[in-house]
C-alpha cells in the first residue's frame, strides 16, 4: 500500500504540474495548442456533424473539464484508500474548488482572460470524477460485504445440517 500511496501522490503532483503549466502559457501558445488539437479531432470526427461541431467549439472547456476530472479521480482514490476521517474527506473535496480557483488566478499573470465559468467547469470535472470513484468504491464494498455474508450463511447453513 505504501507504493500505491507514493504512486498516487506522484500522479497528483504531475497532474497539477501539467494543469498549472498549461495555465502559464501565453494566449497565443494556448490558442495554437487548441487549434492543433482541433485539427486532430477534425480528422477523427467530421466538423460538420453535431458532435464534431460541439467538440471543436468547446475544445478549451472540454480540456478544462478533462484535466480536473483526472485530478479529481486521483485525489478521490487517494482519499478513499488512505483517509479515514470524514472531515479530511470534505477538505479533499473542497480542495478541488481551491485548485480550480488557483488555476484561473494563474491566467491573470499569463495575460490570458481568467473566467469564473472555467472555475465551475474545472470543479464540475473534479467532482464528477469524485462521484464516480466514490460510487464505484461503495459498490465494490457493498458487493464484497454481500459475498462475504452469503459465504458465511452458506457455511453456517452447511454446518447445521
Residue position matching grid coordinates 470543479: 123
Domain ranges of the chain: 2-160
Q: What is the pLDDT at residue 153?
A: 66
DSSP 46: -
Whole-number Cα distances in Å, 103 to 25, 111, 128, 135: 12, 13, 18, 27
Rounded Cα gap, residues 74 and 66, in angstroms: 12
Q: What is the mean pLDDT of each run of 10 residues along the chain (161 residues)?
A: 92 96 88 88 86 86 94 92 81 88 87 85 95 88 84 64 49
What is the per-residue pLDDT for 159?
53
Amino acid at each position: 500500500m505504501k507504493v500505491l500511496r507514493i504512486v498516487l501522490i506522484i500522479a497528483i503532483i504531475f497532474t497539477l504540474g501539467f494543469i498549472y503549466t498549461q495555465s502559464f502559457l501565453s494566449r497565443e501558445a494556448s490558442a495554437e495548442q487548441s487549434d492543433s488539437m482541433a485539427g486532430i479531432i477534425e480528422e477523427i470526427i467530421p466538423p460538420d456533424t453535431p458532435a464534431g461541431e460541439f467538440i471543436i467549439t468547446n475544445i478549451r472547456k472540454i480540456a478544462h473539464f478533462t484535466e480536473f476530472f483526472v485530478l479529481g479521480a486521483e485525489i478521490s482514490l487517494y482519499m478513499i484508500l488512505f483517509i479515514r476521517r470524514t472531515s479530511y474527506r470534505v477538505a479533499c473535496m473542497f480542495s478541488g474548488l481551491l485548485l480550480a480557483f488557483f488555476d484561473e488566478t494563474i491566467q491573470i499573470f499569463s495575460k490570458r482572460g481568467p473566467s469564473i465559468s472555467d472555475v465551475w467547469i474545472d470543479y464540475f470535472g473534479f467532482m464528477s470524477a469524485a462521484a464516480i470513484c466514490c460510487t464505484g468504491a461503495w459498490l465494490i464494498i457493498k458487493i464484497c460485504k454481500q459475498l462475504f455474508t452469503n459465504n458465511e450463511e452458506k457455511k453456517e447453513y452447511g454446518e447445521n445440517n
